[in-house]
Amino acid sequence: MVEAALATRAKTVRVMVVDDHPMLREGIVAVVERQADMEIVAEAQGGAEAVERYREIQPDVTLMDIQMPGMDGVETIEAIRREFPAAQFVVLTTYPGDTHALRALRAGATGYLLKSCIRKDLLDTIRAVHEGRRAIAADVAQEIALHAFDDRLSERETDILRLVAEGHPNKQIAWRLSLSTDTVKAHLKNIFAKLDVADRTHAVIIAARRGFIEI
Protein backbone atom coordinates (compact mmCIF):
# COMPACT_ATOMS: atom_id res chain seq x y z
CA MET A 1 0.00 0.00 0.00
CA VAL A 2 2.82 2.41 0.90
CA GLU A 3 4.65 1.67 -2.37
CA ALA A 4 1.46 2.26 -4.36
CA ALA A 5 0.86 5.56 -2.60
CA LEU A 6 4.44 6.67 -3.31
CA ALA A 7 4.10 5.68 -6.97
CA THR A 8 0.89 7.70 -7.26
CA ARG A 9 2.56 10.65 -5.56
CA ALA A 10 5.49 10.48 -7.98
CA LYS A 11 3.14 10.75 -10.96
CA THR A 12 1.24 13.75 -9.55
CA VAL A 13 1.67 16.96 -11.57
CA ARG A 14 2.56 19.80 -9.19
CA VAL A 15 0.91 22.98 -10.46
CA MET A 16 1.36 26.68 -9.66
CA VAL A 17 -1.33 29.20 -10.70
CA VAL A 18 -0.38 32.82 -11.46
CA ASP A 19 -3.21 35.28 -12.11
CA ASP A 20 -4.04 38.72 -10.72
CA HIS A 21 -7.79 38.00 -10.68
CA PRO A 22 -8.67 36.09 -7.46
CA MET A 23 -11.96 34.66 -8.75
CA LEU A 24 -10.39 33.23 -11.89
CA ARG A 25 -7.48 31.87 -9.87
CA GLU A 26 -9.89 30.18 -7.46
CA GLY A 27 -11.83 28.67 -10.36
CA ILE A 28 -8.67 27.20 -11.89
CA VAL A 29 -7.59 25.82 -8.53
CA ALA A 30 -10.99 24.15 -8.07
CA VAL A 31 -10.77 22.47 -11.51
CA VAL A 32 -7.20 21.21 -11.01
CA GLU A 33 -7.64 19.99 -7.44
CA ARG A 34 -10.41 17.60 -8.47
CA GLN A 35 -7.88 15.58 -10.50
CA ALA A 36 -6.26 12.52 -8.93
CA ASP A 37 -3.04 13.11 -10.88
CA MET A 38 -2.63 16.84 -10.07
CA GLU A 39 -2.18 19.08 -7.06
CA ILE A 40 -1.94 22.83 -6.56
CA VAL A 41 1.33 23.59 -4.78
CA ALA A 42 1.42 27.39 -5.07
CA GLU A 43 -0.52 30.48 -6.11
CA ALA A 44 0.67 33.99 -7.02
CA GLN A 45 -1.14 37.16 -8.03
CA GLY A 46 1.73 38.86 -9.87
CA GLY A 47 5.02 38.33 -11.65
CA ALA A 48 7.45 39.18 -8.85
CA GLU A 49 5.57 36.96 -6.40
CA ALA A 50 5.53 34.16 -8.99
CA VAL A 51 9.32 34.27 -9.34
CA GLU A 52 9.75 33.99 -5.57
CA ARG A 53 7.21 31.19 -5.25
CA TYR A 54 8.85 29.29 -8.11
CA ARG A 55 12.24 29.47 -6.37
CA GLU A 56 10.69 28.06 -3.19
CA ILE A 57 8.54 25.29 -4.68
CA GLN A 58 9.71 24.59 -8.27
CA PRO A 59 6.38 23.24 -9.55
CA ASP A 60 6.16 20.89 -12.53
CA VAL A 61 3.85 23.16 -14.54
CA THR A 62 3.03 26.84 -14.04
CA LEU A 63 -0.24 28.30 -15.35
CA MET A 64 0.64 31.89 -16.25
CA ASP A 65 -1.71 34.79 -16.97
CA ILE A 66 -0.09 36.82 -19.74
CA GLN A 67 -1.62 40.22 -18.94
CA MET A 68 -0.77 41.39 -15.42
CA PRO A 69 0.14 44.83 -14.07
CA GLY A 70 3.83 45.43 -13.49
CA MET A 71 5.75 42.37 -14.62
CA ASP A 72 3.60 40.67 -17.26
CA GLY A 73 3.41 36.95 -17.93
CA VAL A 74 6.07 36.88 -20.65
CA GLU A 75 8.55 38.83 -18.52
CA THR A 76 7.84 36.47 -15.62
CA ILE A 77 8.48 33.39 -17.77
CA GLU A 78 11.76 34.90 -18.96
CA ALA A 79 12.83 35.69 -15.39
CA ILE A 80 12.07 32.19 -14.12
CA ARG A 81 13.68 30.43 -17.08
CA ARG A 82 16.90 32.38 -16.59
CA GLU A 83 17.25 30.51 -13.29
CA PHE A 84 15.34 27.33 -14.20
CA PRO A 85 15.72 26.60 -17.95
CA ALA A 86 13.59 23.45 -17.75
CA ALA A 87 10.56 25.23 -16.21
CA GLN A 88 7.29 24.39 -17.98
CA PHE A 89 4.55 26.96 -18.60
CA VAL A 90 1.00 27.07 -19.87
CA VAL A 91 0.02 30.63 -20.76
CA LEU A 92 -3.60 31.65 -20.17
CA THR A 93 -4.99 34.62 -22.09
CA THR A 94 -8.22 36.26 -23.15
CA TYR A 95 -7.05 37.15 -26.65
CA PRO A 96 -6.00 34.85 -29.52
CA GLY A 97 -3.63 37.44 -31.02
CA ASP A 98 -0.49 36.08 -32.65
CA THR A 99 1.85 38.71 -31.19
CA HIS A 100 1.25 37.77 -27.55
CA ALA A 101 1.47 34.10 -28.44
CA LEU A 102 4.78 34.43 -30.27
CA ARG A 103 6.27 36.44 -27.40
CA ALA A 104 5.21 33.78 -24.91
CA LEU A 105 6.44 30.86 -27.02
CA ARG A 106 9.79 32.55 -27.64
CA ALA A 107 10.10 33.15 -23.88
CA GLY A 108 9.74 29.41 -23.29
CA ALA A 109 6.04 28.61 -22.88
CA THR A 110 5.00 25.27 -24.39
CA GLY A 111 1.28 25.59 -23.71
CA TYR A 112 -0.98 28.45 -24.80
CA LEU A 113 -4.67 28.39 -23.91
CA LEU A 114 -7.55 30.84 -24.19
CA LYS A 115 -9.34 31.46 -20.90
CA SER A 116 -12.65 30.76 -22.61
CA CYS A 117 -11.46 27.17 -23.13
CA ILE A 118 -10.23 26.49 -19.59
CA ARG A 119 -13.03 24.13 -18.59
CA LYS A 120 -12.75 22.13 -21.80
CA ASP A 121 -9.01 22.00 -22.48
CA LEU A 122 -7.04 23.01 -19.38
CA LEU A 123 -6.43 19.56 -17.91
CA ASP A 124 -5.35 17.97 -21.19
CA THR A 125 -3.06 20.94 -21.83
CA ILE A 126 -1.39 20.57 -18.41
CA ARG A 127 -0.82 16.85 -19.00
CA ALA A 128 0.56 17.43 -22.50
CA VAL A 129 3.03 20.08 -21.33
CA HIS A 130 4.11 17.93 -18.38
CA GLU A 131 4.84 15.11 -20.82
CA GLY A 132 7.06 17.39 -22.88
CA ARG A 133 4.60 18.12 -25.69
CA ARG A 134 3.58 21.51 -27.10
CA ALA A 135 -0.13 22.41 -26.71
CA ILE A 136 -1.44 25.53 -28.45
CA ALA A 137 -5.11 26.46 -28.73
CA ALA A 138 -6.40 25.93 -32.28
CA ASP A 139 -7.58 29.55 -32.63
CA VAL A 140 -4.15 30.82 -31.58
CA ALA A 141 -2.30 28.43 -33.89
CA GLN A 142 -4.49 29.64 -36.75
CA GLU A 143 -3.66 33.29 -35.97
CA ILE A 144 0.07 32.50 -35.89
CA ALA A 145 -0.14 30.69 -39.24
CA LEU A 146 -2.28 33.42 -40.79
CA HIS A 147 0.25 36.16 -39.97
CA ALA A 148 3.45 34.12 -40.16
CA PHE A 149 4.82 36.06 -43.13
CA ASP A 150 3.44 39.49 -42.24
CA ASP A 151 5.81 42.36 -41.53
CA ARG A 152 5.93 43.05 -37.80
CA LEU A 153 5.33 46.50 -36.38
CA SER A 154 8.50 48.24 -35.25
CA GLU A 155 8.88 49.60 -31.72
CA ARG A 156 8.41 53.15 -33.02
CA GLU A 157 5.29 52.17 -34.97
CA THR A 158 3.87 50.50 -31.87
CA ASP A 159 4.55 53.65 -29.81
CA ILE A 160 2.70 55.75 -32.37
CA LEU A 161 -0.23 53.36 -32.48
CA ARG A 162 -0.56 53.44 -28.68
CA LEU A 163 -0.85 57.22 -28.83
CA VAL A 164 -3.38 56.96 -31.65
CA ALA A 165 -5.40 54.57 -29.47
CA GLU A 166 -5.36 57.19 -26.69
CA GLY A 167 -6.92 59.69 -29.12
CA HIS A 168 -3.92 61.93 -29.82
CA PRO A 169 -3.79 63.72 -33.21
CA ASN A 170 -0.64 63.61 -35.35
CA LYS A 171 0.73 66.93 -34.04
CA GLN A 172 0.57 65.76 -30.42
CA ILE A 173 2.11 62.40 -31.33
CA ALA A 174 4.95 64.18 -33.12
CA TRP A 175 5.55 66.43 -30.09
CA ARG A 176 5.49 63.54 -27.60
CA LEU A 177 7.91 61.42 -29.63
CA SER A 178 10.13 64.28 -30.84
CA LEU A 179 9.27 63.62 -34.47
CA SER A 180 8.05 65.75 -37.34
CA THR A 181 4.39 65.54 -38.34
CA ASP A 182 5.44 64.23 -41.75
CA THR A 183 7.41 61.42 -40.08
CA VAL A 184 4.36 60.43 -38.03
CA LYS A 185 2.25 60.39 -41.20
CA ALA A 186 4.85 58.19 -42.92
CA HIS A 187 4.84 55.77 -39.99
CA LEU A 188 1.05 55.62 -40.03
CA LYS A 189 1.12 54.83 -43.75
CA ASN A 190 3.48 51.91 -43.02
CA ILE A 191 1.29 50.76 -40.13
CA PHE A 192 -1.82 50.74 -42.31
CA ALA A 193 0.00 48.69 -44.96
CA LYS A 194 1.36 46.16 -42.43
CA LEU A 195 -2.04 45.69 -40.77
CA ASP A 196 -3.94 45.82 -44.07
CA VAL A 197 -6.27 48.58 -42.88
CA ALA A 198 -7.41 51.93 -44.31
CA ASP A 199 -7.88 54.14 -41.24
CA ARG A 200 -6.71 54.85 -37.69
CA THR A 201 -9.69 53.27 -35.93
CA HIS A 202 -9.37 49.99 -37.78
CA ALA A 203 -5.61 50.00 -37.18
CA VAL A 204 -6.15 50.27 -33.43
CA ILE A 205 -8.76 47.49 -33.41
CA ILE A 206 -6.58 45.07 -35.41
CA ALA A 207 -3.42 45.92 -33.44
CA ALA A 208 -5.22 45.29 -30.15
CA ARG A 209 -6.72 42.01 -31.35
CA ARG A 210 -3.31 40.76 -32.50
CA GLY A 211 -1.62 41.86 -29.27
CA PHE A 212 0.59 44.73 -30.50
CA ILE A 213 -1.11 47.16 -28.10
CA GLU A 214 -3.59 47.06 -25.25
CA ILE A 215 -6.68 49.26 -25.06
- Supply the pLDDT for residue 6: 41
- Give the model confidence (pLDDT) of 29-86 as tens digits: 999 999 999 999 999 999 999 999 999 999 999 999 988 888 999 999 999 999 999 9
One domain for residues 104 and 127: yes
One domain for residues 78 and 163: no
Per the domain annotation, does 215 fall within a domain?
A: no
One domain for residues 80 and 119: yes
Backbone φ and ψ of 65, nearest 5°: -70, 135
Q: Which of 99, 124, 146 is the last residue of a domain?
A: 146
Q: Exposure of 190 by Cβ count < 10 A (0-12 exposed, 13-18 middle, 19+ buried)?
A: middle
Cα distances (angstroms) measured from residue 120 to each of 116, 123, 214: 9, 8, 27
One domain for residues 134 and 195: no
One domain for residues 202 and 177: yes
One domain for residues 57 and 82: yes
41 lies in which domain range? Answer: 2-146
Supply the CATH number for residue 130's domain: 3.40.50.2300
Cα distances (angstroms) measured from residue 170 to each of 48, 181, 198, 199: 37, 6, 16, 13
- Supply the pLDDT for residue 148: 67
Residue ranges in the chain modelled with pLDDT below 70? 1-11, 148-149
